[in-house]
Structure 1
């Protein structure tokens, strides 16, 4: 019975994490889509250049959302390491996302606005998102070390304990 609860609680935590990551990603998707289309259609920039700019803006948006909401309870002691790894894995995701756009646009000759948006914002972003979720939760936003987590929990419990008062004193 206890093992079932453990598995169930892990699955529930994972589901909450995926939901939060997805909500942050949805905002990043909208930012990415808008910036991409403004760059291409408003400023006339090349599609891959526009894709890189849009993804970079979305990465910044997503970092704020993931750090301060999705993974707000994870270890914050090594922020520069976290940011460096976030940018590294986000950069790999950027290459995945815009590499698929470049392949579609230049390699396959699918140059319509619809084809560019599907290649970048559906296929590329979908594959990039799976990679980012896995890498962020594995390496970037790490849990507190076990000893520190136990100390934090013990400290919380000690503070929450009701104080015993003797009536005769």
Structure 2
């Protein structure tokens, strides 16, 4: 349970960074939805890695750049899920307002991507080393 709570705490901070930057980039900065999401993703991913590496999985042995690359790959997969949700909503269904982009990318897309990211982070990036919890999924 501690692992899930730690992951959730790091994720909440990352989500706040991602969402805040996306809303600003999509609104006042006037960027298109996919560029705004890509940039906000990079900020959120950085916050998530720091939170997980320094918090949730701090007892895992250091693995250097390989771990960072795996974490980035897992988060890119999650970002692609979010971008797909925005693409379908914005370009496929015609919901083009900033609010619709936020709901599709930061709401629906984030929920789906979070499941993927949790599985990928625990199964591929930190692979059981130094986990506080002990369930295997």
Q: 2:111 maps to which residue?
A: 126
Deviation digits for residues 12-68 of structure 1, max 9, x if unmatched? xxx111111111111111111110011111211101110111011100111000000
Find 2:48's aligned residue among 62, 70, 85. 62
Aligned 8 A contact 2:26 2:98 in 1: no
2:70 paired with 1:85? yes
Aligned 8 A contact 1:75 1:142 in 2: no
Unaligned 5+ segments in structure 1 are 1-14, 146-169
Separation in 1, partners of 2:109, 2:53: 23
TM-score (norm 2): 0.90
2:74 paired with 1:94? no
Find 2:9's aligned residue among 23, 34, 42. 23
Determine which structure has greater relative contact order: mean sequence separation of CA pairs < 8 Å that are 6+ residues apart, divided by chain length.
Answer: 2
2:18 paired with 1:32? yes
**How many residues are paired up?**
130
TM-score (norm 1): 0.74
SS class of match (2:27): helix
Runs of 4 or more consecutive aligned structure 1 residues displaced over 2 Å after TM superposition? 142-145
Unaligned 5+ segments in structure 2 are 131-137
Instruction: Give the C-alpha shift of residue 80 in structure 1.
Output: 1.5
RMSD: 1.3
